[in-house]
Chains A and B, each alone.
Chain A
Protein backbone atom coordinates (compact mmCIF):
# COMPACT_ATOMS: atom_id res chain seq x y z
CA UNK A 1 0.00 0.00 0.00
CA UNK A 2 2.68 2.52 -1.08
CA UNK A 3 0.59 5.50 -2.29
CA UNK A 4 2.84 8.52 -2.94
CA UNK A 5 6.53 7.97 -2.25
CA UNK A 6 9.08 10.77 -2.01
CA UNK A 7 12.86 10.60 -1.76
CA UNK A 8 15.03 11.75 -0.13
CA UNK A 9 13.45 12.43 3.26
CA UNK A 10 16.16 14.86 4.31
CA UNK A 11 18.84 16.73 2.38
CA UNK A 12 21.31 19.52 3.03
CA UNK A 13 22.47 21.46 -0.01
CA UNK A 14 25.08 24.13 -0.41
CA UNK A 15 24.15 27.36 -2.18
CA UNK A 16 24.45 26.91 -5.93
CA UNK A 17 24.16 23.12 -5.90
CA UNK A 18 21.44 21.29 -7.79
CA UNK A 19 19.35 18.28 -6.90
CA UNK A 20 16.25 16.34 -7.83
CA UNK A 21 13.44 15.36 -5.49
CA UNK A 22 11.89 12.12 -6.63
CA UNK A 23 8.17 11.34 -6.47
CA UNK A 24 6.32 8.27 -7.58
CA UNK A 25 2.74 7.10 -7.11
CA UNK A 26 1.20 3.70 -7.65
CA UNK A 27 -2.47 4.69 -7.79
CA UNK A 28 -2.59 5.43 -11.53
CA UNK A 29 -3.49 9.05 -10.83
CA UNK A 30 -3.28 11.46 -13.74
CA UNK A 31 -2.92 14.56 -11.58
CA UNK A 32 0.31 15.15 -9.67
CA UNK A 33 1.57 18.17 -7.73
CA UNK A 34 4.55 19.62 -5.94
CA UNK A 35 3.97 21.89 -2.96
CA UNK A 36 6.27 23.61 -0.53
CA UNK A 37 5.41 24.36 3.08
CA UNK A 38 7.27 27.00 5.05
CA UNK A 39 6.99 27.12 8.87
CA UNK A 40 3.59 28.34 10.02
CA UNK A 41 2.36 28.73 6.48
CA UNK A 42 -0.03 26.93 4.24
CA UNK A 43 1.05 24.92 1.25
CA UNK A 44 2.10 26.74 -1.90
CA UNK A 45 1.83 25.03 -5.28
CA UNK A 46 5.11 24.92 -7.23
CA UNK A 47 4.21 22.88 -10.31
CA UNK A 48 1.51 20.47 -11.31
CA UNK A 49 0.78 17.96 -14.06
CA UNK A 50 -2.52 16.70 -15.46
CA UNK A 51 -0.93 13.77 -17.27
CA UNK A 52 2.24 12.37 -18.78
CA UNK A 53 3.98 14.95 -20.93
CA UNK A 54 1.95 17.87 -19.52
CA UNK A 55 3.20 20.21 -16.82
CA UNK A 56 2.29 23.71 -15.71
CA UNK A 57 3.44 26.34 -13.25
CA UNK A 58 1.81 26.90 -9.93
CA UNK A 59 2.04 29.86 -7.59
CA UNK A 60 5.79 29.70 -6.82
CA UNK A 61 7.66 28.05 -9.75
CA UNK A 62 10.81 30.19 -9.85
CA UNK A 63 13.99 28.20 -9.25
CA UNK A 64 12.36 24.83 -9.98
CA UNK A 65 11.74 22.57 -12.95
CA UNK A 66 9.67 19.45 -13.44
CA UNK A 67 9.11 16.71 -15.97
CA UNK A 68 6.43 14.05 -16.36
CA UNK A 69 7.57 11.29 -18.69
CA UNK A 70 5.38 8.61 -17.09
CA UNK A 71 2.09 8.53 -15.19
CA UNK A 72 3.88 7.29 -12.08
CA UNK A 73 6.80 9.70 -11.74
CA UNK A 74 6.97 13.46 -11.23
CA UNK A 75 10.48 14.61 -10.24
CA UNK A 76 11.20 18.17 -9.05
CA UNK A 77 14.52 19.69 -10.02
CA UNK A 78 16.17 22.48 -8.02
CA UNK A 79 18.75 24.38 -10.03
CA UNK A 80 21.27 26.66 -8.29
CA UNK A 81 19.89 26.16 -4.79
CA UNK A 82 19.28 29.30 -2.72
CA UNK A 83 18.57 29.73 1.04
CA UNK A 84 15.03 30.79 0.13
CA UNK A 85 14.41 27.24 -1.07
CA UNK A 86 14.87 25.86 2.44
CA UNK A 87 11.48 24.30 3.05
CA UNK A 88 9.50 21.09 3.28
CA UNK A 89 8.43 19.76 -0.09
CA UNK A 90 5.36 17.61 -0.61
CA UNK A 91 4.41 15.63 -3.66
CA UNK A 92 0.76 14.73 -4.12
CA UNK A 93 -1.55 13.03 -6.56
CA UNK A 94 -5.27 12.78 -7.24
CA UNK A 95 -7.75 11.06 -9.52
CA UNK A 96 -8.51 12.47 -12.97
CA UNK A 97 -11.84 13.73 -11.68
CA UNK A 98 -10.20 15.71 -8.92
CA UNK A 99 -13.29 17.72 -8.23
CA UNK A 100 -14.87 14.73 -6.58
CA UNK A 101 -11.93 12.98 -5.10
CA UNK A 102 -9.39 13.55 -2.41
CA UNK A 103 -5.75 14.38 -2.86
CA UNK A 104 -3.05 12.04 -1.54
CA UNK A 105 0.23 13.34 -0.16
CA UNK A 106 3.70 11.90 0.28
CA UNK A 107 5.42 12.21 3.64
CA UNK A 108 7.56 15.15 2.63
CA UNK A 109 11.18 16.01 1.89
CA UNK A 110 13.01 18.34 4.26
CA UNK A 111 15.51 20.48 2.38
CA UNK A 112 18.01 22.87 3.93
CA UNK A 113 20.17 25.15 1.78
CA UNK A 114 23.25 26.52 3.53
Chain B
Protein backbone atom coordinates (compact mmCIF):
# COMPACT_ATOMS: atom_id res chain seq x y z
CA UNK B 1 0.00 0.00 0.00
CA UNK B 2 1.29 3.43 -0.95
CA UNK B 3 2.27 5.70 1.93
CA UNK B 4 3.11 9.37 1.55
CA UNK B 5 5.08 11.34 4.14
CA UNK B 6 5.68 15.06 4.24
CA UNK B 7 8.47 16.72 6.17
CA UNK B 8 8.43 19.05 7.97
CA UNK B 9 4.91 19.07 9.38
CA UNK B 10 5.20 22.81 10.00
CA UNK B 11 7.60 25.52 8.89
CA UNK B 12 7.90 29.21 9.71
CA UNK B 13 10.34 31.42 7.78
CA UNK B 14 10.87 35.14 7.22
CA UNK B 15 9.57 36.72 4.07
CA UNK B 16 11.94 36.61 1.11
CA UNK B 17 13.58 33.30 1.92
CA UNK B 18 13.73 30.40 -0.52
CA UNK B 19 12.39 27.18 0.95
CA UNK B 20 11.93 23.50 0.19
CA UNK B 21 9.08 21.23 1.19
CA UNK B 22 9.66 17.50 1.07
CA UNK B 23 7.42 14.61 0.08
CA UNK B 24 8.35 10.93 0.08
CA UNK B 25 6.40 7.92 -1.12
CA UNK B 26 6.97 4.23 -0.57
CA UNK B 27 5.88 2.76 -3.92
CA UNK B 28 7.80 4.20 -6.87
CA UNK B 29 5.31 2.83 -9.40
CA UNK B 30 3.37 6.07 -9.71
CA UNK B 31 1.69 7.74 -12.66
CA UNK B 32 2.12 11.26 -11.36
CA UNK B 33 2.79 13.33 -8.27
CA UNK B 34 0.69 16.38 -7.47
CA UNK B 35 1.25 19.30 -5.14
CA UNK B 36 -1.74 21.13 -3.66
CA UNK B 37 -2.26 24.25 -1.60
CA UNK B 38 -4.96 24.44 1.08
CA UNK B 39 -5.94 27.72 2.68
CA UNK B 40 -7.78 27.70 6.04
CA UNK B 41 -11.44 26.82 5.59
CA UNK B 42 -10.98 26.15 1.89
CA UNK B 43 -10.60 23.25 -0.46
CA UNK B 44 -7.43 22.12 -2.17
CA UNK B 45 -6.04 23.92 -5.19
CA UNK B 46 -3.73 22.07 -7.53
CA UNK B 47 -0.35 23.79 -7.93
CA UNK B 48 1.74 21.43 -10.00
CA UNK B 49 1.42 17.95 -11.49
CA UNK B 50 4.53 16.01 -12.46
CA UNK B 51 4.11 13.01 -14.74
CA UNK B 52 6.15 9.94 -13.91
CA UNK B 53 8.27 10.52 -17.03
CA UNK B 54 9.12 14.09 -16.01
CA UNK B 55 11.76 15.34 -13.61
CA UNK B 56 10.29 18.71 -12.73
CA UNK B 57 7.56 21.27 -13.34
CA UNK B 58 7.64 25.00 -12.83
CA UNK B 59 4.93 27.58 -12.29
CA UNK B 60 6.02 31.10 -11.42
CA UNK B 61 8.00 31.00 -8.17
CA UNK B 62 7.19 27.32 -7.65
CA UNK B 63 9.30 24.42 -8.84
CA UNK B 64 8.46 20.80 -8.14
CA UNK B 65 10.88 17.96 -8.76
CA UNK B 66 10.36 14.22 -8.87
CA UNK B 67 12.82 11.38 -8.30
CA UNK B 68 10.84 8.18 -8.69
CA UNK B 69 13.75 5.87 -7.99
CA UNK B 70 14.29 7.35 -4.54
CA UNK B 71 10.59 7.95 -3.89
CA UNK B 72 10.98 11.67 -3.34
CA UNK B 73 9.50 14.93 -4.54
CA UNK B 74 10.32 18.46 -3.48
CA UNK B 75 8.44 21.73 -3.81
CA UNK B 76 10.75 24.72 -4.03
CA UNK B 77 9.28 28.15 -3.31
CA UNK B 78 11.44 31.08 -4.32
CA UNK B 79 11.36 34.50 -2.67
CA UNK B 80 8.58 33.55 -0.25
CA UNK B 81 5.77 36.02 0.47
CA UNK B 82 3.22 36.22 3.30
CA UNK B 83 0.56 35.22 0.76
CA UNK B 84 2.31 31.86 0.43
CA UNK B 85 1.20 30.98 3.96
CA UNK B 86 -0.97 27.86 3.67
CA UNK B 87 -0.84 24.09 4.05
CA UNK B 88 0.85 22.29 1.19
CA UNK B 89 -0.08 18.70 0.43
CA UNK B 90 1.43 16.25 -1.98
CA UNK B 91 -0.38 13.27 -3.45
CA UNK B 92 1.02 10.26 -5.28
CA UNK B 93 -1.14 8.75 -7.98
CA UNK B 94 -0.51 5.03 -8.16
CA UNK B 95 -3.03 4.56 -10.95
CA UNK B 96 -4.92 1.35 -11.29
CA UNK B 97 -8.20 3.16 -11.03
CA UNK B 98 -9.79 6.38 -9.89
CA UNK B 99 -8.90 5.55 -6.29
CA UNK B 100 -5.16 5.66 -6.86
CA UNK B 101 -4.43 9.01 -5.16
CA UNK B 102 -2.68 8.87 -1.77
CA UNK B 103 -2.24 12.12 0.16
CA UNK B 104 0.38 13.17 2.66
CA UNK B 105 -0.66 14.96 5.84
CA UNK B 106 0.71 18.27 4.60
CA UNK B 107 3.23 20.92 5.62
CA UNK B 108 1.78 23.97 7.38
CA UNK B 109 3.79 26.93 6.12
CA UNK B 110 3.89 30.38 7.72
CA UNK B 111 5.76 33.22 6.06
CA UNK B 112 6.55 35.98 8.55
CA UNK B 113 6.24 39.55 7.18
Contacts and interface: CB of A to CB of B under 8 A. Distances in A.
- State whether these chains interact: yes
Interface of A: 4, 31, 33, 40-43, 45, 48-50, 56, 58-59, 90, 92, 94, 98-108
Interface of B: 4, 31-32, 34, 36, 41-46, 49, 51, 89, 91, 93, 95, 97-99, 101-106
Nearest to A110: B41
Contacts of A56: 97-99
8 contacts: A43-B89, A48-B98, A56-B98, A56-B99, A98-B93, A103-B101, A104-B46, A107-B43
Contacts of B34: 102-103
A108 B44 CA distance: 9
A108 B93 contact: no
A42 B43 contact: no
A81 to B, nearest CB: 22
Contact of A31 (B42, B95, B98): B98
